[in-house]
Amino acid sequence: MPEKIDFSKVSFLIVDKSPPTARLIRDILHVLGVTAIRIADTVERARKMLRRDPVDVIITEHHLGEESGLALIEWVRTAPDSLDRMTPIIMLTANSEEDYVVRARDIGVTEFLAKPFNVEGLYRRLVAVIARPRAFVNADGYFGPDRRRRQVPYTGPDRRRSDD
């Protein structure tokens, strides 16, 4: 029997300063059966909400005013007062050029989706973060999802310095 996703069990935080966009994402999630949805228009408000009560999934824009979506990701992943450092984060943004994608990836975003977006693209990201969770990496200067998308078997010797 094929697997299904019961979105009614999943809580979301949408961070976007454009009210029509935040409402559209909220309405899409409602159709999927989500009932626990909070909306913040700044990073500061998002942090306040998350300090009180963490959510299962965060959907954030990059361009949010004084502080960007990257600041939110960094806070979730590294701050001592972040209640869940492994929260899946989808960046849904009109800042979609390659350098933005790379910076988001290197700060610990889970999925990235460019605006303008379509419902299939958003749904695929939701399925990915809920049904296909990724391993996390804790290393010098990085805490976040494993950035390797493809696992390529390597049979040669381990040549990293720390193994000398």
Partner 1 sequence: MAKRAQIIPPRADLKKKAVNLSKGFDMRLTPEVVRKLEEVVHKSRDTFTADIAEKLVTMRRLLTESRPEPERQRDLVAQIYDASLEIKGAGGTIGYDLLSQIGKSLNDFVTGLTALDARQQRAVGLHVDALYAVLANRITGRGGIIENAIVEAFGEARRKLRPEADEDGRAGDDDREA
Q: Which residues bind partner 1 (CB under 8 A)?
A: 1-10, 18-21, 23-24, 27-28, 31-33, 56-57, 63, 86, 88, 91, 93-98, 101, 104-105, 109-121, 123, 127, 129-131, 133-140, 146-147, 149, 161-162
Residue type, 116: P
Residue closer to partner 1 (CB basis): 46 or 144? 144
Minimum Å gap between C-beta 64 and partner 1 is: 11
Residue closer to partner 1 (CB basis): 78 or 96? 96
Phi/psi at 21 (nearest 5 deg)? Answer: -70, -45
Residue closer to partner 1 (CB basis): 1 or 152? 1
Minimum Å gap between C-beta 39 and partner 1 is: 15
Q: 26, 14 in Cβ contact below 8 A?
A: yes
Q: In this structure, how many other beta carbons lie within 10 angstroms of the beta carbon of residue 70?
A: 21
Minimum Å gap between C-beta 22 and partner 1 is: 11
What value, to the nearest 5°, has the Cα angle with vertex 88 and ends 83 and 92? 120
Residue closer to partner 1 (CB basis): 83 or 137? 137
Burial status of residue 55 (CB atoms within 10 A of its CB: 0-12, 13-18, 19 or more): buried
Q: 69, 119 in Cβ contact below 8 A?
A: no
Minimum Å gap between C-beta 57 and partner 1 is: 8
